[in-house]
Each structure stands twice: as C-alpha cells, then as structure tokens.
Amino acid sequence: MKCALVVDDSKTAQLHLKRMLARYDLEAECASSAEEAFSYLENKPAPSIIFLDHHMDDMDGFEALKIIKANPATATIPVVMYTAQQGDVYVGQARALGALDILSKGSMKPHQLGKVLKGLGIAANGEDASASPAAETPHADPDHTDLNHSEPAAALWQHQNNQDKADPRYDQLFNEFERQSTRLREQIADESHLILGSVHSTRSDVQQNQKAIKQAETRISDIVLPEIAEKIAADQQRTMRFSNFLQMVTFVGLAVTGFALYQTSDSLSDVEHRLTELQNSVQQSPQGTGSEGASAAFGDDASSLSYGLVDVISWAMDTDFHFGYDQQPFSESRVTNISNLVYRMADAGYTGKVQLITNFGNVCLQADDAGNYALAPDDMPVADCIMLEDTNPDLSVKNLLSVALINFEQTAEPIRDGRIGLQIRSNGLQSPRFEYPAAYPEMRAGEWNDIALKNNRISIAFNY
C-alpha cells in the first residue's frame, strides 16, 4: 500500500485527513512538527506524497517546503499545502517554492483530494465521497446525537469514525463541528473583551459621577440662586454662538467636498478615456513586446482582447524586475512576481508564450588582490574602472536558472496544461534600455553605475 506523510500539529486535522486518504488505499503516516517530518524522511522509505500544514510551532510550512525541495533525496516528492491560508499572494508563493497544490483545511471535499491524487497517478481504488453510498448502521442513527452523553467531543468523533468509515455525512458533520467550534471560541473571546471593557468603563463613569456630585453639592451650598440663573443664561448664549459657528463650518465643508467630487468626476472621465484609447491601440497592434509593448493571444480571435489584458500589462509595468550586480536574476522574490504574472495572464484568458528576457548593465568594477570583482566605489574615476564586458562574463541562460524558477516551471498549472509556455532568453549586455552617458575625464564610477544598474532587469514579452 502506498504511503502519504501528513505534517500537522493538530491531531484533529491529522485524523480527518487520514480518514479521507484511507478511501484511496493510502496509508497515512503523521508527523506533528517539521523536525519530526525531516526525521521520518531521513530514516524511512520516501512517501508517495506529503501534506504540509503552514502554521506549526517549530517552523512554518514555507521554511519546511524549502528544506524538502533543497534536498535531492526528497526534492521530487510531491508536496501539497494542507492549510487554512488563502489568497493569490500565498498561492503564488507556495507554487513558486515548489508546492504542487493547496487544499483548504476545514472545507476540503473528498473529490478535491481525489483529483490531486489521481492527477499524480497515486490514487488506487478510492471513490469520491459524492459517489460512495452511505453505509447502513443498524445500531445508531447518524442524524441524531444524544446531548446528554457524557463522552468528550473528540472521543465522540472517534467513535463515529470507527462505526461508519464510509458514511459521507461524517465529513459534513466534521466540517460543521470545526466551523462551529472556531466560531464559538472567537465569539466567547470577543464577548469577554466587550464585557471587561464595559465593566471598566462603567466603574470609571461611576467614580467620575460621584466626584462630580460631591463637587456640585459643595458649590450649590455656597452659591445663591440669582448667581446660578446668571450662569445658566451665559452658558445658553455660548451654546448658541457655538451652534451657529458649527453650522457655518459644516456648510463650508459641504461646499469644499462638492467641489472635490466634481474634480474627481472629471479626473475619472479622463482616466476612462485614456484607458479606452490604450485598449484600442492594443487591439490594433498585431505584435509587441511584453511590459514594454505586448502582443498577446486571447483564444483564437484578436477582438477578444479586453480590459483584463490592459490590467495585467499595467500590473507588469508597475512591478519591479530589476536586480543588483551580485544578485540572482531569478531569485525567489522575482519568481513570485513571475508566478503572479503567469496566473494573472491565465485568468484573463491568455494562451501563448511568455518570454523572460534577462538584460545586464555594463557596470564599472574594481578587482581585489585575489582577483575577485566588485562594484567600484562611487568616487573612483571611470577611466580606472574594469568594465564588466572586459571580464568576458558567461551570461548564458544555463548560468541564470535557479531552483525556484525550475520548481515553478514544473508545478505551475497554466504551464503544465499547455495554456502558457515559458521561454527564458538572455540578451547579455547587448540591449541596454537606458543609454550610457558620454565619458569625460572627470566622470566617476557612481554616475556611470547609476545608469548601468538600471539595465540589470528582466523584461517580459508575450507572443502567440
């Protein structure tokens, strides 16, 4: 029987996933921490798949995923994030680090798990929960729970699990139990904070009122009634003047707000007009280059270009794809941006090639006694520099690939299913986007490198 490793510090989550895996003839081994999982992978046969939680006490899921993918002995094991984390940014980061898929803890259905397992070819004779008939239990009614039963909740669930492992209603009851438990805990915490805050506020108000009453009693005993009437009349006059002032301020505020709304409306109309012109220009252009002028294919008809393409191109233009002199072009952070770009293009309906083109600036360098190169100090004359092109650097694609980029290419769904093809190219030093200044005798390395480092970038191109 094939084996799956479940890494989660929640015994309840382990039990739930273990039961679901049993439907697909998968034996589940459980680890309650990342260190326990590493020990298992080192001393026991490799599992067919790893289910990895994100929030754990000793190490979060991303750190554990990096270590698993960095070890040649475990790098090829499929890893699925089994977590409550959600959001496009989290999904992009997980896939960029090598995660095959993300399954939501608490709301995952058996058929979703089955789809992942069958896609990997490791599901045996398991069936979807929707297709499995509920087992008949002559000794218990699965729709009725005795509220007077003194057995703890965890034992009750374990008892139900032992009685009826094939009943799909167990999943519904389990998920509802998890949701209601979480909601109840949050509600109790919120109500406790509110009650404590109300008690402190009430006690403070009572103390202030008692103090004010004592002060008023003392003052009333010393002031005659005509003086009290005079003070009341003066307070009324001050209140009326303040009310008139407040009305005037409100009127001026409304006038200013109305004027600002009018100007905002004009600005929005101008932006909408410019966006329409940009869309029309994209539709009329048969070919371009990525975030510096892109040509994309949406289906088989160029007329299907929409605001979705404009949004993606705008996002790509605003995203920083520059890298420093001694930095890896395809680092984890930039691969995360590339992942977001690919999934945004796929969501917009794009099909075709996405080219990642690396460009390098001819930076001004100096060498140390060991012959190692580094950026020259800003005050060094350019005439004394060693230019990068004079060092004959190997800027070919094979020297630029990173583990993060390779993992992304192997796991990204739009690339795996053929909707989007990823191509890596290197222009070396041949295509600077920013022209270098004309050299003069007093020019310093800082001025030259300000331009050269801007040419260290990844440009994006789309074509079909």
Q: Is 58 in contact with 35 (CB distance < 8 Å)?
A: yes
Task: Report d(CA 357, CA 457) in Å as an integer.
Answer: 8
- pLDDT per residue as tens digits for the range 47-62: 999 999 988 888 899 9
Q: Is 455 in contact with 359 (CB distance < 8 Å)?
A: yes
Q: What type of residue is 462?
A: F
Sheet of 373-375, strand order:
373-375, 364-367, 386-387
Burial 149-159 (b: 16+ CB within 10 A, else e): eeeeeeeebee
258 vs 248, 249, 250, 267, 272, CA distance in Å? 16, 14, 12, 14, 21
Place of tokens 């920013």: 434
Q: DSSP for 408-452?
A: HHHH-HHHHTTSEEEEEEEEETS--SSPPPPP-TT-BHHHHHHHH
Beta strands 386-387 and 79-83: pairing type? unpaired
Identify how many contiguous H helices and E strands the chain contains and give both numbers.
13, 11
Question: What pLDDT, on the 0 to 100 scale, is given for residue 362?
Answer: 94
Give the distance between the most distant pair of CA atoms in the chain: 100
Question: What pLDDT, on the 0 to 100 scale, is given for residue 43?
Answer: 94
According to DSSP, residue 74 is labeled T
Task: Report d(CA 99, CA 82) in Å as an integer.
Answer: 10
Q: Is 98 in contact with 411 (CB distance < 8 Å)?
A: yes
φ, ψ at 371 (rounded to 5°):
85, 10
| Strand partners for 425 | 357
Helix (H, G, I), strand (E, B) or coil at 114: helix
| Total Cβ atoms within 10 A of residue 292 | 14
Q: Is the pTM of this model over 0.75?
A: no
Can you say whether the dihedral through the CA atoms of 430, 431, 434, 435 is positive or negative?
A: positive
pLDDT of the chain, 464 residues: tens digit per residue:
789 999 999 888 889 889 999 988 889 999 999 999 999 999 999 999 999 998 888 889 999 999 999 999 999 999 999 888 778 888 889 999 999 988 887 677 888 888 889 888 887 544 443 344 333 333 334 333 333 333 444 444 344 444 444 455 556 566 666 666 666 655 665 565 556 666 666 667 777 877 877 776 666 555 556 677 777 888 888 888 887 888 888 888 888 887 777 767 666 666 566 666 655 655 554 444 444 433 333 344 444 445 677 778 888 888 889 999 989 999 999 999 999 999 998 888 888 999 999 999 999 999 999 989 999 999 999 999 999 999 999 999 988 889 999 999 899 999 999 999 998 999 999 889 999 988 888 899 999 999 999 999 999 987 75
Question: What pLDDT, on the 0 to 100 scale, is given for residue 340?
Answer: 92
Beta strands 373-375 and 364-367: pairing type? antiparallel
| Total Cβ atoms within 10 A of residue 393 | 13
According to DSSP, residue 381 is labeled B
Question: What pLDDT, on the 0 to 100 scale, is given for residue 63?
Answer: 93
Task: Report d(CA 289, CA 281) in Å as an integer.
Answer: 14
Question: What pLDDT, on the 0 to 100 scale, is given for residue 220?
Answer: 57
Task: Report d(CA 450, CA 437) in Å as an integer.
Answer: 10
Helix (H, G, I), strand (E, B) or coil at 332: helix
Question: What pLDDT, on the 0 to 100 scale, is given for residue 173?
Answer: 63
